[in-house]
């Protein structure tokens, strides 16, 4: 049998630049293609099974699909979201001995109650990869492939229930505080949150009572943060035979690549009144979305070696220079959707990219290929949420930073058919 069966996965990740591979003695598309025509495929299937697959060595279509399980670099900086305690905005509760109000006095331990560091550090995300192409008589094949990682979601939260039920005598650590400022009156929250707001002890919203702890994020009872991320990659390319012997082959790869890196941070705050009641007007929401769409050409090459018993090993690599279109979107909104304020900003970046893979291939029957391996997709100079929350409501400006190195890597198991 001839060489094309293991070209089923012709667009897969690679180990040098294709232009360098063209320097191999006797290489070049013309001479290599002549050798391909009568090259016996290492690891040929020992059995022919009557299924509608093609014969190796013939031109025709091929298709593949595989499952992937990948992990990635942490794409989020560490930022304190909330502290234990609350701020006396009127200064009446914390007044000086002579009765002088002390507005802005913090009451409580100030211990960190919630931060982005509370998210789990590492997890593995399932996904899939599919593709197909066409192989010509001279050994050249063209293909298209698509890889998708499922949405990965992590949560963290804080409530009025302190760790081990430890608290101060005034129970100030039962409350949560975040330093959001410059927000309009619609975000005032309940007037009566504590016994200090209700001197008569009747829990009523007396116009002249309460207001000592102004704002949804001051004296809140529940905060929840969530981080979502997902990833897509697609490419269209060609696989070109360059040089081969009886037991190994070298091939070049070239084409165009697209990748999308999407991340979203959510923060929800609920401020209850003294009776444990909260309406939509007592809920503050914050969302930060960072999307990076990357486009550009890639080149590379790979090497396949026969190891016996219908098995072979491949090592591939490709390098790409991608132009990134970055969208930064951050927004505050109230629970009843009556008011909001947002940031909308676009940016550009140049992102070098290197993809590599090592796979063990098995050819059990005519026209069928199975594989298992390890792959890595590395991106340099991408953006990330350094500090996802911008606490200035009127001028929302979270801090974004440049992440020098970002990697998605893990295992893959797949199946391919040649038609």
310-349: pLDDT as tens digits: 888 999 999 999 999 999 999 999 999 999 999 999 999 9
Residues 120 and 126: their CA atoms lie apart, in Å, by: 17
Residues 415 and 62: their CA atoms lie apart, in Å, by: 11
CATH number of the structural domain 3-418: 2.40.128.100
Find, among 354, 352, 356, the residue nearest to 382 by Cα: 352
CA distances from 49 to 54, 213, 365 (A): 11, 77, 6
Cα angle: 146, vertex 149, 155; to 5 degrees: 160
Cα angle: 334, vertex 336, 339; to 5 degrees: 50
Residues 364 and 399: their CA atoms lie apart, in Å, by: 53
Query: Are 245 and 104 contacting, i.e. CB atoms less than 8 angstroms apart?
Result: no
- 315 or 135, which is more confident? 315
- pLDDT for 272 equals 94
- pLDDT for 416 equals 85
Find, among 91, 268, 93, 263, the residue nearest to 176 by Cα: 268
Interacting residues of 251 by C-beta distance below 8 A, sequence separation 6+ = 7, 10, 21, 239, 240, 241, 242, 301, 302, 304
311-334 and 283-308 strand pairing: antiparallel
> Can you tell me which residue has the tokens 């200064």?
91
In the chain, % of residues over pLDDT 70 = 83
Per residue, what are the HEC states of 201-240? CCCCCCCCCCCCCCCCCEEECEEEEEEEEEEEEEEEEEEE
Query: Are 115 and 10 contacting, i.e. CB atoms less than 8 angstroms apart?
Result: no
Average pLDDT over residues 192-197: 84
Ranges of beta strands (E only) in 60-140 are 60-72, 80-84, 86-88, 105-107, 112-115, 125-135
CA 120 to chain centroid? 14
State pLDDT tens for residues 31-40.
222 222 223 3
Average pLDDT over residues 49-77: 75
Find, among 173, 174, 214, the residue nearest to 190 by Cα: 214
Find, among 359, 361, 378, 377, the residue nearest to 369 by Cα: 361
Looking at the predicted structure, is the pLDDT value of residue 286 above 90? Answer: yes
CA 38 to chain centroid? 45
- pLDDT for 60 equals 81
Query: Are 86 and 175 contacting, i.e. CB atoms less than 8 angstroms apart?
Result: yes
Residues 349 and 149: their CA atoms lie apart, in Å, by: 23
CA trace torsion 125, 387, 353, 259 (10° rounding): 60
Looking at the predicted structure, is the pLDDT value of residue 19 above 80? Answer: no
Find, among 286, 162, 276, the residue nearest to 217 by Cα: 286
> For the chain, which residues make up each domain, given as ranges?
3-418
- pLDDT for 14 equals 32
Distance separating the N- and C-terminal Cα atoms of the chain:
15
Looking at the predicted structure, is the pLDDT value of residue 134 above 50? Answer: yes
Interacting residues of 78 by C-beta distance below 8 A, sequence separation 6+ = 115, 116, 117
Quote the tokens at residue 36: 């391909």
Q: What is the pTM of this model?
A: 0.82
pLDDT band at 97 (very low <50, low <70, confident <90, very high): confident
Looking at the predicted structure, is the pLDDT value of residue 234 above 70? Answer: yes
Mean pLDDT, rounded, of the chain? 83
Query: Are 253 and 162 contacting, i.e. CB atoms less than 8 angstroms apart?
Result: no
pLDDT band at 69 (very low <50, low <70, confident <90, very high): very high
- pLDDT for 208 equals 57
CA distances from 99 to 32, 91, 197 (A): 93, 10, 17
């Amino acid at each position: 049998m001839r060489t094309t069966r293991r070209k089923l996965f012709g667009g897969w990740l690679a180990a040098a630049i294709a232009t360098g591979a063209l320097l191999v003695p006797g290489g070049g598309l013309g001479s290599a293609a002549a050798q391909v025509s009568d090259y016996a495929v290492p690891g040929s299937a020992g059995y022919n099974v009557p299924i509608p697959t093609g014969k190796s060595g013939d031109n025709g279509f091929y298709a593949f699909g595989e499952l992937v399980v990948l992990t990635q670099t942490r794409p989020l900086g560490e930022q304190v979201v909330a502290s234990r305690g609350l701020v006396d905005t009127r200064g009446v509760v914390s007044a000086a001995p002579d009765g002088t109000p002390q507005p802005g006095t913090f009451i409580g331990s100030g211990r960190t109650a919630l931060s982005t560091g509370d998210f789990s550090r590492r997890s593995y995300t399932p996904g899939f990869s599919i593709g197909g192409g066409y192989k010509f008589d001279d050994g050249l094949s063209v293909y298209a492939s698509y890889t998708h990682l499922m949405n990965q979601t992590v949560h963290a939260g804080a409530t009025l229930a302190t760790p081990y039920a430890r608290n101060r005598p005034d129970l100030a650590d039962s409350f949560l505080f975040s330093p959001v400022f410059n927000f309009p009156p619609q975000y005032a929250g309940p007037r009566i949150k504590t016994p200090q707001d209700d001197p008569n002890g009747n829990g009523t919203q007396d116009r002249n009572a309460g207001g000592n702890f102004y704002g949804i994020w001051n004296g809140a009872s529940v905060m929840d943060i969530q981080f979502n991320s997902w990833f897509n990659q697609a490419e269209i390319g060609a696989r070109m035979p360059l040089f081969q012997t009886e037991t190994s082959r070298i091939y070049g790869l070239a084409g165009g690549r697209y990748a999308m890196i999407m991340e979203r941070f959510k923060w929800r705050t609920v401020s209850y009144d003294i009776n444990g009641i909260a309406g939509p007007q007592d809920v503050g929401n914050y969302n930060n979305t960072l999307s990076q769409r990357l486009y550009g050409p890639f080149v590379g090459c790979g090497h396949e070696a026969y190891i016996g018993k219908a098995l072979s090993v491949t090592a591939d690599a490709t390098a790409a220079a991608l132009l990134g279109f970055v969208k930064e979107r951050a927004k505050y909104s109230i629970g009843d959707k009556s008011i909001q304020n947002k940031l909308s900003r676009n940016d550009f970046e140049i992102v070098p990219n290197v993809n590599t893979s090592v796979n063990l291939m098995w050819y059990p029957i005519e026209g069928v290929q199975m594989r298992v391996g390890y792959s890595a997709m590395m991106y340099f100079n991408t953006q990330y949420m350094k500090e996802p929350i911008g606490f200035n409501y009127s001028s929302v400006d979270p801090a974004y930073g440049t992440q020098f190195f970002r990697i998605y890597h893990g295992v893959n198991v797949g199946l391919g058919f040649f038609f």
